[in-house]
Amino acid sequence: MKIDKIVLRKMKMALKTPFTTSFATQTEKHFSVVEVHAGGVVGYGDCSAISLPFYNEETNVTAWHIMRDFLIPMLKQAGEITHPSQAREIFAPVKRNNCAKAAIEGGLWDAWAKQQGISLAKAIGGERTRVEAGVSIGIQSTPDKLIEVVDGYLNEGYKRIKIKIKPGYDFNYVQALRQTFGDITLMVDANSAYTLDDIDLFKRMDQFGLLMIEQPLAHDDIIDHRKLQAAIATPICLDESIASAEDARKALELGSGKIINIKVARVGGITEVKMIHDLCQQQGVPVWCGGMLDTAVGKAHNIAIASLPNFVFAHDIPPSSRYWHEDFMLPQVEMDRDSCVAVPEAPGIGFAINPRLYQEYCYGEESFSF
């Protein structure tokens, strides 16, 4: 595949409502879109790094720097590539910075699949024609407010509810949901807000029969998670701790969790996603696709990877209307009455870009000829 040029676009979109996690409240999303122009097609990649270095080490600004000054020159120096998976090796000298790597590799995958005339899902070995969507709910001010919000999403048809938690916004909130809604499919996400000093809290939470507890301990930990998992019955799901297939191998070997959340941006691209997916499948460990307040392109890539066979739980892949007044994807992602979204069959990501909104949300761009 001969690359003609790569275009980076700086983008910004306002959230419909503020989204609060244990580390920050976001009211808008700054991100980048990568365009890979190759042989008459354009492949799109999404850089999901947020504007604060609180989820991982990256921000939208640092990711732009890494893409512009390192990854694109490295790709240019490598010359023509035959398959997008080669980007993983080309980018290997750059440590971490996985959101930046995933964005460019995602554009390569989309362009390559379009040249082959197949969907991105088919190109990576996906099997499903639709994938289940769950809803992720930010931290609410009171349990009563959380009940109100959850009730609204259950009425919209969501079957899996995920709530963000942090110290002081945890046990009573989960208890209120169980008392109000019974045995709905419920999970919590701590985004690394706790330590082993909170082990008694998580033992008490076993009574609620949660689907999983996502990333309760430090963002780079697999040792203490092993100790916590051994002490509780509820499955621990690792998120921030898993930045590569090698991280996943070590965590599984230690028994640090029973489930892994795979995010394209967090692990550095679709090639790494496949490696983690296959490793977990071989060991009988289920995975699912998490989200990063994804906009159009990132959501399209998430839908594709969620079609892989070992992605067995509902995913953070909601309809376009969940976070955004108007996303720049055509058609918009919709959820059916079974809480599922369709996997596109058209070549590449299977969606078109709304040119009006694409330009409206863009506030800067730079082009690099090959």
- Encode pLDDT of 250-298 as tens digits: 999 999 999 999 999 999 999 999 999 999 999 999 999 999 989 999 9
In this prediction, residue 98 carries a pLDDT of: 98
pLDDT single digits (tens) 17-37:
888 887 789 899 999 999 999
Task: Compute φ and ψ for 164, nearest 5 degrees.
Answer: -80, 145
- Which residues, in sequence order, are bridge partners of residue 273? none
Q: In which residue ranges of the chain is pLDDT below 50?
A: none
Taking Cα atoms as reference points, which of 151, 166, 218, 134 lies closest to residue 25? Answer: 166
The Cα-based distances of 46 to 32, 165, 264 in angstroms read 6, 27, 10
Global pTM value: 0.95
DSSP annotation of 322: G
Query: Which DSSP helix (H) or strand (E) runs through 292?
Result: none
Contact 324, 13 (CB under 8 A): yes
For residue 128, what are the contacts with CB-CB under 8 A and spacing of at least 6? 121, 306, 307, 308, 309, 311, 343
Contact 300, 348 (CB under 8 A): no
Q: Torsion angle, CA of 168/169/171/174, rounded to 10 degrees? A: 170
The Cα-based distances of 188 to 83, 104, 143, 214, 295 in angstroms read 38, 31, 14, 6, 23
Catalytically annotated residues: 164, 263
Angstrom distance (rounded) from CA 346 to CA 367 = 27
In this prediction, residue 51 carries a pLDDT of: 86
In this prediction, residue 252 carries a pLDDT of: 98
In this prediction, residue 50 carries a pLDDT of: 87
In this prediction, residue 24 carries a pLDDT of: 82
In this prediction, residue 87 carries a pLDDT of: 98
pLDDT single digits (tens) 113-147:
999 999 999 999 999 999 999 999 999 999 999 99
